[in-house]
Amino acid sequence: MKVLVPVKRVIDYNVKVRVKSDGSGVETSNVKMSMNPFDEIAVEEAVRLRESGVAEEVIIVSLGVQQCQETIRTALAMGGDRGILVQSDGELQPLAVAKLLKELVEREGPELVILGKQAIDDDANQTGQMLAALLGWPQGTFASRLELAEGEARVTREVDGGLETVALRLPAVVTTDLRLNEPRYAKLPNIMKAKKKQLDVVSPEDLGVDVEPRLKTLKVSEPPKRSGGVRVGSVEELVEKLRNEAKVI
């Protein structure tokens, strides 16, 4: 069984995001970039499936600029078998990404696609669901546990009331949540081996997909700064401030 894992190159989660002076987006020049944390979890889960003998091959896919090859190499060092970069210098919105992934899925023939539930840059939480809809495959989102057996995937997912387990007939799409696993660190020998692993580069035109943005960003701005808190001397004073100043009661 093949497992396909899309990974996204995003601003590292430890970096403070800065908005551009013209409000057109966030600053990415000279900023540390890394793999989306939710995608790291997806890679780890796919590698574990291969190590347990359930899967035979883990294919890593990234979409974006040439530097995304670094993200793919990181995933290969974690245990992926080969990589594919869909290179594009323009903006790739979730629908375009889902369409590109659909074409790759039809070319590669995986029985399972595992991807992060969302990317920490746009927090869209759309690509996995769109991909499942385009393919006509069942989907298990926000997975905190994944089990494969007899052509079926059992996905335990977090819902408002607790945990829900759904059974999906393969092929299927699964999106990962934080509690699914703890991603491994890539060791130096594996990093060196990853440099020699196969990495193919294609373009959206090669896949026959129109990636023209359907949405336009009007403005990006920082959230307003929060004012400092104050201490109150009694419950009565607290209620008075909530009623007359905050006007929430």
Secondary structure of 81-117 as H, E, C letters: CEEEEEECCCCCCHHHHHHHHHHHHHHHCCCEEEEEC
Tell me, yes or no, whether 241 lies in a domain.
no
Q: Which residues of 44-77 are buried (b: 16+ CB within 10 A; e: fewer)?
A: bbbbbbbeeeebeebbbbbbbbeebbebbbbbbb
Residue 112's alpha-carbon distances to 31, 89, 226, in angstroms, are: 33, 28, 44
pLDDT of residue 158: 86
Tell me, yes or no, whether 237 lies in a domain.
no
Query: What is the rounded CA–CA span in Å between residue 102 and residue 109?
Result: 10
Tell me, yes or no, whether 58 lies in a domain.
yes
Tell me, yes or no, whether 136 lies in a domain.
yes
61 strand-pairing partners: 6, 84
Mean pLDDT of successive 10-residue stretches along the chain, which has 249 residues: 96 91 86 95 97 96 96 97 96 95 97 96 94 97 94 92 94 95 94 96 96 90 84 92 88
pLDDT of residue 245: 86
Tell me, yes or no, whether 247 lies in a domain.
no
Tell me, yes or no, whether 222 lies in a domain.
no
The token pair at 75 is 């995933």
The tally of domains found in the chain comes to 1
SS3 59: strand
Q: How many CB atoms lie within 10 A of CB 231?
A: 6
Tell me, yes or no, whether 52 lies in a domain.
yes
- The answer to whether 13 touches 123, Cβ cutoff 8 Å, is no
Tell me, yes or no, whether 233 lies in a domain.
no
> Which structural domain, as residue segments, surrounds residue 153?
2-217
pLDDT of residue 249: 86
Q: What is the CATH number of the domain that holds 129?
A: 3.40.50.620
